[in-house]
Amino acid sequence: MRTVAQRAGVSSATVSRVINGSPAVKEETAEHVRRILKELNFIPNPIATTLKYGRSNTYGLIIPDLANPFYPEFLLNFEEALVESDHELLLATTQSNEPKLVNSVRRMVMRRVDGVVVMASEYDTRAVEPLLDRQIPIVTIDRNRAQPGSGDVAIDFDEGYRQAVQHLKELGHKRIGFIGGNVGIHTSAVRLEAFRKGMVSAGLTFDERLIRSGDYRVSGGDAAMASILMEPRRPTAVVTANDLTAFGALRALHAHGIQVPSEMSVIGFDGIQMGDAVYPPLTSIAVSPRDLAQACLRALDHSKLHPSRRGLLLKVRCTLLVRSSTNRAPDRA
């Protein structure tokens, strides 16, 4: 930076102000300094900046599973939002493993991140205490809890499943099954309850014999659908906890020679881009990765500015994306 200052004929403090976008420098001088910075291919040292100012302009993101296409889609939108706000991204994955989460949190603390989005919603609160102890803002997903320095962004499952059930009812479906997530996980219970509410709201019977647990993966959806097909009275439609589960359900139906959607309709959840590539293209309750990313950043910024205040509780809406995996209920008569 001293070299830049000497070449530009200004002080190092002026160069620092230009780099940090300070309005205290005349535009003519700032433009001259920026031209010298470009000529010298100057790149600021983020580590030195962190040591001097105690901030890194970096946000952390902890996600459970990169193999689920929903998370890479969210990652791209979150990183884009960070670039717009002049922040960097530090990514970590946990594979739903508690020790890996603890190690990821430790990395975030060592890098002095300005905040962390924790998408792994199932964890012991003690795992993130190092962040709270150092007043590093946290935003969780679907925990529906907030405290000083910690906010949450929740997906509106109730509205999403209400739309899905209403869509199937309008197509003449009455017996509707559901393939959920892992047993004992909070977010799985939330999705199942949202589906139940959707059935009651539509005036349809919630039949527990048509409910199965999956694991948010293709294999789990496949096994759960095969089990549903063993029921004496099969449903005419099945709604799932996420799109990967729905892909597995489609695979099981194809293997059993059941036509989709003429004999069975299927609806997923997430609205990932891959849903348009399977056959038939999957009807899904879509969550906008962009809306989710912007809500997370808004909650982080709030807790960063007001560390002693209770974090924000935000909600992201869902939209039913109708493709070709749903059709009128078959005439079983």
Of the CA atoms within 13 Å of residue 178, those in its CB half-sphere come to: 26
Give residue 55's pLDDT: 57
Kindly tell me if the per-residue pLDDT of 68 is higher than 80: yes
Q: Locate 221 and state its tokens.
A: 């959806």
Among 289, 283, 276, smallest CA distance to 239 is for 283
Contact 225, 213 (CB under 8 A): no
Q: Which CATH superfamily is domain 157-287 in?
A: Response regulator (3.40.50.2300)
> pLDDT tens across 249-261, in order?
999 999 999 999 9
Angstrom distance (rounded) from CA 113 to CA 252: 45
Residues 87-106 have a mean pLDDT of: 84
- Report DSSP state, residue 322: -
The mean pLDDT of 118-125, rounded to a whole number, is 75
In which residue are the tokens 């996980």 written? 185
Which whole number is the average pLDDT over 104-114? Answer: 87
| pLDDT level of residue 333 (50, 70, 90 thresholds) | very low
H/E run at residue 100: helix 98-110
How would DSSP label each residue in 223-289? Answer: HHHHHHTTSSS--SEEEESSHHHHHHHHHHHHHTT--TTTT-EEEEEE--GGGGTSSSPPEEEEE-H
Q: How far apart are the first and last CA of the chain?
A: 81
Query: Across residues 181-209, what is the average pLDDT?
Result: 95
Nearest by Cα to 236 from 213, 215, 200, 207:
207
Q: Is the dihedral of CA 61, 67, 69, 72 positive or negative?
A: positive
* DSSP-derived secondary structure letter, 309: S
Q: Are 207 and 241 in contact (CB under 8 A)?
A: no
Query: What local confidence, expressed as pLDDT, does residue 56 receive?
Result: 60
Most confident segment among 9-18, 20-29, 64-73, 115-124: 64-73
CATH number of 2-44: 1.10.260.40
Strand ranges (E), 136-185? 138-141, 150-155, 176-180
Arithmetic mean of pLDDT over the chain: 90
More confident residue, 277 or 16: 277
Predicted confidence (pLDDT) at residue 39 exceeds the cutoff of 60: yes
What mean pLDDT do residues 252-272 have?
97
Residue 164: in which H helix or E strand, if any?
helix 157-170
Q: What is the pLDDT of residues 277-323, one digit of tens each?
A: 999 999 999 999 999 999 999 999 999 999 889 999 999 999 999 99
Q: Exposed (0-12), middle (13-18) or buried (19+): which is 79, by Cβ within 10 Å?
A: middle
User: Each residue of 160-196: b (16+ CB within 10 Å) or e?
Assistant: bbbbbbebbbeeebebbbbbbbbeebebbebbbebbb
Within this chain, domains 56-155+288-316 and 157-287 share the same CATH topology: yes
Determine the Cα–Cα distance for residues 213 and 169; give it in Å rounded to an integer.
23
Listing from the earlier edge strand, what are the strands of the sheet with 138-141?
88-93, 58-63, 115-118, 138-141, 150-155, 313-316
The third-level CATH classification (topology) of the domain covering 56-155+288-316 is Rossmann fold (3.40.50)
**How high is the pLDDT of residue 249?**
98
- pLDDT tens figures, 198-211: 999 999 999 999 99
Q: Work out the average pLDDT over 51-80.
A: 84
Q: So where are the chain's domains?
A: 2-44, 56-155+288-316, 157-287
Stretch 67-71: mean pLDDT: 93
pLDDT confidence tier of residue 121, bands split at 50, 70 and 90: low
Percent of the chain with pLDDT over 90: 65
Amino acid letter, 96: S
> What is the reported pTM?
0.83
Q: Which two tokens stand for residue 109?
A: 């603390």
Task: Answer yes or no: are the C-beta atoms of 81 and 293 closer than 8 Å.
Answer: yes
